[in-house]
Amino acid sequence: MKEQFLQAQAETRQREAELVALCSDAPPDPSGRWRPQDHLAHLSSSRERDAELIDAVRTGGEVPADRGEGANDAYYLATRDQSAAEIIAAAEKSWDALETAIHACTEDDLAQPRPYEPNHRRFVDIAPGDHFAAHLFWCHLDAGNEKAGEAILRWAQDLSSRTSSDPRNRAVAVYNLACFYARTGQVEEALPLLRESFEGAPDLKDWAHKDPDLEPIRDDPKVGELLS
């Protein structure tokens, strides 16, 4: 379990070079739309948070307070004027901190529920590839590169199938890929993936009823039948 978790982290860290390559010192978007470096800063913050939570649970120390709603927006405002080099350096530091925290854990430590996680999912159940891929996917779509967006979601699906023992992780990875096909109007490609994701995580069907990613295909009779 621990080795698979570390493998998932290592492969995600290696793949993050693709996001780093998209970073530049372009000024912040006046509308607040995230640039690649903003996505990278967000991912770094998430890793720093996980390292803190893992250490707190492992040592029996005080668990940091829940960041609550608005934390992502606040972090964006705090980092948006940093240079790309500063954000990239912080990303590497966050990876080092997370890997150090994981290496210090036993299998039992990683099997503990992650504080503030819905449904009491364990640390080891968190799929780093899914979170990362979702952010890089949007960067590729913003750049008009649909093929690269599809490729990163397929990579995340493969990683989850190889390294995660949590059925929900695999279902989420499949659902994310289905959403790509939905956004691009590819009904026949999206349908079997949606069906598979609902079987692995039935709660995804509830979200699918309101997920804006499915709007381009929602009026298709086959989709309506699946969601009924």
Which tens digits make up the pLDDT trace of 23-32? 999 999 999 9
- Average the pLDDT over 171-183 and give the result: 90
Output the pLDDT for position 125: 86
DSSP annotation of 112: S
CA–CA–CA angle 127, 128, 133 (5° rounding): 105
User: Three-state SS for 113?
Assistant: strand
User: 53-85 pLDDT, tens per residue?
Assistant: 999 999 999 999 888 878 899 999 999 999 999
Output the pLDDT for position 118: 76
Output the pLDDT for position 143: 93
Output the pLDDT for position 121: 84
Q: How confident is the model at residue 222 (pLDDT cuts 50, 70, 90)?
A: very high
Average pLDDT, the chain: 93
User: 107-128 pLDDT, tens per residue?
Assistant: 999 999 999 887 778 998 888 8
Domain ranges of the chain: 2-124
Alpha helices for the chain (secondary structure H) = 2-15, 17-20, 36-59, 71-79, 84-103, 107-110, 128-142, 146-163, 167-183, 187-200, 203-208, 221-227
Region of poorest pLDDT, from 14-18, 118-122, 148-152: 118-122
| Residue 164 structure tokens | 């995660």
Contact 209, 227 (CB under 8 A): yes
Percentage above 70 pLDDT, the chain = 100
Name the class of domain 2-124.
mainly alpha
- What torsion, rounded to 10 degrees, do the Cα atoms 215, 216, 221, 224 define? -20
